[in-house]
Amino acid sequence: MLNGNLVRVRTSKSRVIPLYLNRDDPTWLEVAESLRLVFQEGVGTTRGEIEGEIDEMLGDDPKTLAHRGLAKVLEDRAEFEIVADVPPDQLREKVFSAAAAERKRLKAEGRRAPFRRDFVLDSVAAELGIDAEKVTTSLFADLRDEARMLTFDDLSAQRLVDRYNVALAQAVLLRSTLVTAEVRREKPARYRQLFRWLKFHRLLHRVEGTMAEGYTFHIDGPLSLFSSTTKYGLQMAMFLPALLLCNDFRLDAELRWGPKREPRTFHLESADGLISHYQDSGTYTPPELNAFVERFRQVSPAWEVSESTEVVELGREGVWVPDYKFVHKSTGADVYVDVLGFWKRSSVERLLKLLPQLGPPRYVLAISEKLKVDEESLGEIPGPILRFKEIPNATEMAALLERFVTKTLL
């Protein structure tokens, strides 16, 4: 993800136009390759050393904004770690305490001998059972520049340019209040994949259309929310590469741009040629939901759990795509479960109004208390709802589902 100071755009009237790089330009491919080699050969060195080499390569030329954006994409693919035998904060406490004690001793003895830094470091090293040199190198190892690169997920120069262009579009979308995406002429599997990405990235959205005609997605942007905008913005950015897998799409976003949050627009379509880095298979599932399903299977083996492939059309109100289908093995009773991450009270109430008329006969909405994003989401909402904080409670879900079985038998 690009930081705000690395975003390269121009404006035309009220429109924000990202300055994408030409993925086939030999000059940019050469720049990308040079930067890639810095990271490829930098495993084991500190972040400060890597940044110093990049600074030496680029200098202070203000025209290097794109170069530094490419470097930021590479940095996000590297794993850094604090390397120290003793936690640096604990080590500093011991060294500073030992230094204070040594100064106090010298003063009490009335001696004018100079303060010996090496004596203090040696005494702390002896106390901890490590070399004095390691005390010196570990003392400030938790500073950002001192973190060492452990691994680097390499990629080709052209793929780096592709990732940069996508990151630039993602950074623009972080300033959005509303995103509208139209997708046409895709296979049903692609539409279901998009629905799953929207769901599992917990984006607030409304969908219009049909499989035959295509769909229009109305997605709340990060700046439309009262809270959780940073985390929500990252989820919004993660959805864009999924959209880029489509052959025929157009995206329009309403933005609040610049320090004054002035209204602007952003447009992106398949003809722009941005290339997704997502593999065209399956969908991402948050680890906490995988953990919930695994735990549910342990506590309630009477139920079979599977990811739902249903797309329930709600007339002119759009569609509903539940996450899971729970089937009671002995009775065959099925219950659809929808896990809501980020949510507004109005969106939950809308579903509870439409589902009794147009949805399946049995369903449950599991809603996160942690990820509500408006000021009206407090208080009880009537309906088949299971509330949770970090992860849905498998035992509580099982008890709720059993009620449906009881009603079916009656």
What pLDDT shows up at residue 375?
A: 66
| Paired strand residues for 320 | 312
Share of the chain above pLDDT 70, in %: 95
Q: How far apart are CA 270 and CA 167, in angstroms?
A: 16
Asked whether the predicted pLDDT for residue 409 surpasses 60, the reply is: no
What pLDDT shows up at residue 347?
A: 80
Lowest mean pLDDT, pick from 77-91, 157-171, 390-404: 77-91
SS (H, E, C) 315-376: HHHCEECCCEEEEECCCCCEEEEEEECCECHHHHHHHHHHHHHHCCCCEEEEEECCCECCCC
Q: What confidence tens digit (pLDDT) does each residue in 114-141 have?
A: 777 777 777 877 777 787 777 777 777 7
**Average pLDDT rounded to a whole number, residues 111-115:** 68
What pLDDT shows up at residue 379?
A: 67
The rounded mean pLDDT for the chain is: 87
Asked whether the predicted pLDDT for residue 198 surpasses 80, the reply is: yes
Contact 383, 365 (CB under 8 A): yes
226, HSE (Cβ side, Cα atoms, 13 Å)? 10
Q: What confidence tens digit (pLDDT) does each residue in 249-301 have?
A: 999 999 999 889 999 999 999 999 999 998 776 555 778 888 999 999 999 99
Asked whether the predicted pLDDT for residue 106 surpasses 60, the reply is: yes
Q: What confidence tens digit (pLDDT) does each residue in 59-75 have?
A: 767 678 999 999 999 99
337, HSE (Cβ side, Cα atoms, 13 Å)? 28
Dihedral of the alpha carbons of 122, 124, 128, 131, in degrees to the nearest 10: -30
What pLDDT shows up at residue 378?
A: 57
Asked whether the predicted pLDDT for residue 107 surpasses 80, the reply is: no
At 158, the pLDDT band (50, 70, 90 cuts) reads: very high
**Average pLDDT rounded to a whole number, residues 357-379:** 81
The stretches of 109-200 forming alpha helices (DSSP H) are 117-128, 132-138, 157-173, 188-200
User: To which H or E segment does residue 281 belong?
Assistant: none
**Average pLDDT rounded to a whole number, residues 132-156:** 83
What pLDDT shows up at residue 398?
A: 94
Q: How far apart are CA 195 and CA 217, in angstroms?
A: 9
Q: Model's pTM, two decimal places?
A: 0.75
Q: How far apart are CA 322 and CA 320, in angstroms?
A: 6
